Amino acid sequence: MDVCVSQVSPGDQLEVWPMGAGTPSVVRVLDIGEGERFRSLVVCLEGDEVEIHVPRSNTVKLIC
């Protein structure tokens, strides 16, 4: 289900497309940072913590 990035909370699982990957990955949101135009999401991707910056106007795919 697609949701606005402002609705994402820690613990949510999202589908992301890592750079260079041919398929999406499911990540778990660990922490969220608030910015004026972006939200910084710290996610667990294949055992590593990765920070991604998503424009507030974007939607993300929430995995239920």
The pLDDT of residue 55 is 95
Backbone angles phi, psi at 36, to 5 degrees: -65, -45
Q: What is the number of residues in the chain?
A: 64
Cβ-Cβ contacts under 8 Å for 55 (sequence gap 6 or more): 5, 37, 38
Q: What is the rounded average pLDDT for all residues in the chain? A: 93
What are the tens digits of pLDDT across the range 14-44?
Answer: 999 888 778 999 999 999 999 999 999 999 9
The pLDDT of residue 6 is 93
Indicate whether 64 pLDDT > 80: no
> What gap in Å lies between CA 50 and CA 27, rounded to an integer?
10
